[in-house]
Structure 1
Amino acid sequence: MNPPVFKPRLSTSYLIVDDHALVREGIVRVVTNTWPHAHLSHAASLHEANKLLAEPGASFDTVVLDLNLGDSDGIQTLKTLRAAAPMARVAVVSANNDLDLALACLHEGACAFIPKMGSIDHFVRGLQTLASGGTYFPRDLLAQAQQREGAPTGVQPVAAISLTPRQHEVLHLLLQGLTNTLIAQELGISAETVKLHVSAILRSYGVANRVQLLLVCAGQDDSTAPQTH
């Protein structure tokens, strides 16, 4: 009997944080067109976002975040949001297509970096990839990022990589930006066990750290998925 294949949990509840009403409406349109039954909430400031996150029973799978808000600016916006919603997938949408900023977002646990500039098709694809439970990094930055981080450019296709069902679960949470401690809490296992799984996953992908792993996964065809054994 073949082992079960772990399927990532798709997002069903979104918090859109952007101080430009037209951008918020555009993001809402893309998400609802992809997943019509998704629940969406909006915030025009970090203060409003924190109030929504603090409401009793509030639970957002995904936060789509503009870093530059009226009451917060830059990478500190992401740090504050991550502290308030440590289990949520956070996608940064940015008017700045700077590689240093993009890598800083990945280091701080973002699972996607979507520039506002450029073609609307790329913007829509980034949001659709996110809505489908995937990770996204703009391809025009990918080659630069691989060089900067030392990520190998000749890695095996994701479909050729064999992972256990548990490693699939850990991988999915890794790509959300969760720490080992949070992954352990989510899966009901020890942090030391998570550490062992993370090391095995990095070896399987031939990368040295989590940022390289996210870059490799973001650079693969969206239709591929690692195999289980």
Structure 2
Amino acid sequence: MTTRLVIADDQASIRIGFRRIFEAQPDMRVVAEADNGIDALKAVHALAPDVLLADVRMPGMDGLELTRKVVESAPSVRVVVVTTFDLDDYVLTALREGACGFLLKRSRSGVLVEAVRAAAAGDSMISPEVTTRLLSRLRAPRKHVRRPTAPLTAREEEIARLVADGMTNSDIGAELFISAGTVKTHLANLQRKLAVGNRVGIAAWVWESGLMREL
């Protein structure tokens, strides 16, 4: 199944770079580009892509407002916000408006591709650098952390720590010498046991539970 994308960024060089990354993947196709938020919204309505990759700062309509309008008017389209600016306010606003991903433009191509695949699959992904910084603020374990519905295996704890450390699925697979499919299976089990919806929820649980400080 091919994932159809719209790329919205006011810099032509960024759009060209993203197009090359995604169209090098056998399961992805860029169906439109836009250099402003207004045209991006029109493309979404006209083409109904699977994923919209939206820059934060664009003329006419910024990526955060664009995210809100897409979520309201085309909820089947998954929005991944990208930016040069590593600001917490952008992250929180983007997620509040309904984005299912937040990435820095300097992210490795593999992270960009993995984020789009996660979005298309209904999952969420935040740039590992951003995730690690935000969640590492939870230095003191909370007294009342939701307990897993079933005990975590040693492997699941190991993978949960790596997720909290900002690793992507491919990074985890390489670190543990396991396949990407095996990593996904463990993540699905972790989400079920921790009653969270995505890898960000897993990472938050790890930091809040104090698991990172048990190393």
TM-score by length of 2: 0.60
Answer yes or no: is 1:38 the counterpart of 2:29. yes
Deviation, 1:202, is 7.1
Task: Choose which of 103, 111, 129 in structure 2 pairs with 1:126.
Answer: 111
Question: How far apart are the structure 2 equivalents of 1:37 and 1:53?
Answer: 16
Question: Contact 2:80–2:116 at 8 Å: present in 1 too?
Answer: no
Where in structure 1 are there 5+ consecutive unaligned residues? Answer: 1-9, 162-200, 220-229
Residues 26 and 138 of structure 1: CA distance in aligned 2, closer, same or farther (over 3 Å): same
Which deviations, in whole Å up to 9, do the C-alpha atoms of 1:6-64 show, x marking residues without a partner? xxxx6521111111111011111111112366242111112212222333xx3210000
1:84 paired residue among 73, 84, 94: 73
- Higher relative contact order (Cα pairs below 8 Å, separated by 6+ residues): 1
Match of residue 25, structure 1, among 10, 13, 16: 16
Q: Determine if contact 2:9/2:36 at 8 Å carries over to the other structure.
A: yes
Task: State the one-letter code of the partner of 1:129.
Answer: E
Structure 1 residue 215: Cα displacement = 1.1
CA contact (8 A) 1:137 1:218 kept: no
> 2: distance between equivalents of 1:35 and 1:217?
29
Quote how far apart the aligned CAs of 1:113 are.
Answer: 0.9
Alignment correspondent of 2:99: 110
Name the TM-score, length of structure 1 as normaliser.
Answer: 0.57
Deviation at 1:148, TM superposition (A): 5.8
Q: Cα RMSD (Å) of the superposition?
A: 3.4
Identity over aligned pairs, percent: 22
Matched-pair contact (CA < 8 Å) for 1:67–1:78: no
Greater fraction of residues in helix? 2
Indicate how the Cα distance of structure 1 residues 37 and 91 shifts in structure 2: closer, same or farther if over 3 A, else same: closer
| d(CA) in 1 for partners of 2:100, 2:6 | 15
Residue 85 of structure 2 corresponds to 96
Query: How far off is 1:72 after superposition?
Result: 1.7
- Aligned residues of 1:17 and 1:44 also touching (Cα < 8 A): yes
Determine which of 46, 49, 52 is the counterpart of 2:40: 49
The worse-fitting range, judged by mean Cα deviation, of 44-53 and 30-39 is: 30-39
Q: Is the 8 A contact 1:18 1:44 kept in 2?
A: yes
Q: CA deviation at 1:218?
A: 7.5
Can you give the 5+ residue segments of structure 2 that lack an aligned partner in the other structure? Answer: 158-189, 205-215
2:134 aligned with 1:145: yes
Secondary structure of residue in 1 paired with 2:10: coil
Q: What's the CA shift for 1:125?
A: 2.3
The answer to whether the aligner puts 1:61 opposite 2:46 as a matched pair is: no
The letter of the residue matching 2:33 is H
